[in-house]
Structure 1
Amino acid sequence: TDVTMTVRPGERRAVLGSNGAGKTTLFNCITGDFAPSSGTIRFFGEDVTHFPPYERIRRGLRRTYQISALFPGLTVQDNVYLACRGVSRGRFSLLRPGQNDALMHAADNLVQAVHLSAVKDQRVAELAHGQQRQLEIALALAG
């Protein structure tokens, strides 16, 4: 209730509170999972209050969740590749990626960005919890 918050590019903010204080509800409103009961949500100056989540994602507003949505039987690289593929125009193509596939390169760059290159060929189920959270950040950045 009555939350006003501005986060400028490059800034970080923390939202603290006890259980039931509304932290998750706030993030659900920001990302479009819940509709706010009043007020507006602006992203880079644009009012996105009534945009569905996928429109907010297209504009770069992403999040991770407390419960992981990873493919534990696949490798780190495969998880990131699928995330890149899922937001691409060719997402429904049945063709296997070639050696010079742009999405493979994008996945590689994301794996490097979240510092998981050393474990990129490991199955996600074998990763430590912190590494899985790093992987979730890569998935959120895909697109």
Structure 2
Amino acid sequence: MSKELDILTRLETALRGILIAGGCQTDAGANVYRNLEYEAAPEAALYPCIIYFPGELSSGYEGDVPPSLGEQNNFLPVRIEAYILDDERGAQGQALKGDLRKALAAAGDFGGLVEELQGYRAAAAVHSGADGYWSYVSADFTIFYVTAWGEM
């Protein structure tokens, strides 16, 4: 297994840990998907749910600190989209936004695999539909990790 896949497995484990029984404010971790369009998710598992999208891996940005000889920097952008039933105030969306941040902070360095999470940004918005209100929460960040030259 590649280091990238190991990191994504740990990310999914962290997201699946977002449960009220685990000390979070929501149970969004009950339904976690990778690269699944919202419309394709099973209807019974839409609210709450978390969908994460790993982006295109790059091996460096201009101005980044060069790794040691024989190593390379890796930057993996990730987008998270989450959905939860809510009311017009958006309290559940804000709670889920906090749960995402808490889960990523608790994951730390993903068992020593990750140097750091960079550029974390998150937002929540309330929407209304035929079935009432729901919140959409998005989060974007980049996972920075180092591998031996040529590995991913």
TM-score after normalising by structure 2: 0.25
TM-score after normalising by structure 1: 0.26
Q: Which has the higher strand share?
A: 2
